[in-house]
Amino acid sequence: MHYLLLLMLGLPLAALGQDSTTEFTQEQLIWFVKKYHPVSVQGALFLKEGESTVRKARGAFDPYLFTQLDQKYFKDKTYFSILNGGLKVPTWYGVEVKAEFEKNKGLFLNPENKVPLSGLWKVGVSVPIGKGLFIDKRRAILKQAKLFAESVQAEQQKLMNDLYYDAIQHYWKWVGVWHQYQIYVESVQLALTRFNAVKQSFLLGDKPAIDTLEAFIHLQNRMMDRNQYQLLYQGATLEMSTFLWFENNTPLEITDSLRPPVIEKINLINAVSSDTLETFLTQLEATHPEMQLYRYQLTSMKVEKRLKIEGLKPKINLNYMLLNEPSGVDFINGLSSQNYKWGVEFGFPLFLRQQRGDLQLTQLKMQKTELGQQQKLLELQNKVKDYYNKQISLQEQVVLFTGVVNNYRRLLQGERQKFNNGESSLFLINSRERDLIQARAKLIELLVNFNTARMGLYWAVGRLY
């Protein structure tokens, strides 16, 4: 596996309009995911699949060139030689245009196959005036193929919406554990400084030996906490690195040279307003990719239903062809209404059990899909409201707990002043520091949860991509 330092990738960072700094933002992550992630590339293939499906369906309307030669020779005699070829052109309206040439000869040729020695040209049409007049299988398949080509765009949007949110969740987890890790790195440094100061005071005879032991135990505990968060940070870094790719399917890895935004920038983000929520809920049925997929399914089923209804009609095909003998005369001008061939093809199943069963199955499938559509819309609406409530509640908790952290910080400052005046103890200083450290770590957790819930709201309405 190739490991590259993201910071050195000047082109992608410049494409985002950002300087090559050690700060790695959510926008930069999404840029990499959108441009290079294998799932993102797979989403682009969906669009090509839709185009290929339409192209395949259009093939049913391609002109069809055909020829058939049937000969029999026996005992040096030509029993018959039948040659028939031509061109068939299907049209969107169900009419099939035909142009054929027939040349037959032989001693024992069937009388109905006799044509002039130079052959016989035939030009005409085949028109369905019963089943297939308004829609047939070819037209239905093409309509459904076009719907599929449109639906793959919604499928791509759904795929990318899920991918973005998955990446964003891992990003904020990485942001959170990095900040918490830094808090415990700082706490170890404070404990080490205090231990050295207490040890020096002991050597000077100002502190008892028990104080050095207490300071050392606090240092050990904080080192344990730091190591624990260091492991969590390393795990979160590896998890987020799975979303980072570069050209030629090159996997990337977050290195120690990259850092998330500082805590002050994270605090500037506001929750989604209630007015925006109402807009999201109003537009949810029309804009969410999963609801779009349901609409495409139902529209495709309506096309199928029309085809099944058409199957209840009798098959009545009218065939008419003008005939002309090849000669020096212009072919078109040589055509005459006096020379023609026509016929009617009729067919109708007496009980229509297969056709009625197919129609009923399609109607039942549509009903099930409509029920699923209603259920999915309700689920999405509730999910949107849930994420909205979470981010509002978490924003209030962040504001409240920011005050708690500030109060803990003032308590620690006051306790230090008392300690310097000889009115407090090392135990109380450590206790105040521990409370402040835990409060700061909790505030980071709340900030991470708030930003995850806020982005979760955009994911729930299908608007991350």
My answer on whether 272 and 147 are in the same domain is yes
Tell me whether residue 372 is in a domain: no
My answer on whether 149 and 122 are in the same domain is no
Question: Could you tell me the CA-to-CA distances from 311 to 131, 134, 348, 367 in Å, in that order?
Answer: 6, 11, 10, 21
**What residues contact 153, with CB distance under 8 A and at least 6 apart?**
46, 47, 50
Q: Which domain holds residue 444?
A: 6-36+139-303+377-460
Number of domains in the chain: 2
Tell me whether residue 383 is in a domain: yes
My answer on whether 396 and 254 are in the same domain is yes
Whether residue 250 contacts residue 2, with contact meaning beta carbons closer than 8 Å, is answered with yes
My answer on whether 251 and 168 are in the same domain is yes
Tell me whether residue 50 is in a domain: no
Residue 173 sits in a domain of what CATH number? 1.20.1600.10
My answer on whether 324 and 192 are in the same domain is no
CA 143 to chain centre: 23
**CA-CA distance, 134 to 139, in Å (whole number)?**
9
The 10s digit of each residue's pLDDT in 49-98 is: 888 999 999 998 999 999 999 999 998 898 999 999 999 999 988 899 99
- pTM, two decimals, is 0.83
Q: How confident is the model at residue 3 (pLDDT cuts 50, 70, 90)?
A: very low
Look at residue 465 and tell me whether its pLDDT is greater than 90. Answer: no
My answer on whether 229 and 99 are in the same domain is no
State the pLDDT at residue 8. 40
- Burial profile 312-349: b = 16 or more Cβ within 10 angstroms, e = fewer: ebeebbeeebbbbeeeeeeeeebbeeeeeeeeeeeeee
Burial class (CB in 10 A: 0-12, 13-18, 19+), 23: middle
∠ CA(174), CA(177), CA(181), 5° rounding?
A: 135
Look at residue 180 and tell me whether its pLDDT is greater than 80. Answer: yes
Q: How confident is the model at residue 10 (pLDDT cuts 50, 70, 90)?
A: very low
The 10s digit of each residue's pLDDT in 205-239 is: 777 888 888 889 989 999 999 999 999 999 999 99
State the pLDDT at residue 2. 38
Amino acid identity for residue 52 in this structure: S
Tell me whether residue 229 is in a domain: yes
Whether residue 418 contacts residue 459, with contact meaning beta carbons closer than 8 Å, is answered with no
Q: What is the mean pLDDT of the chain?
A: 88
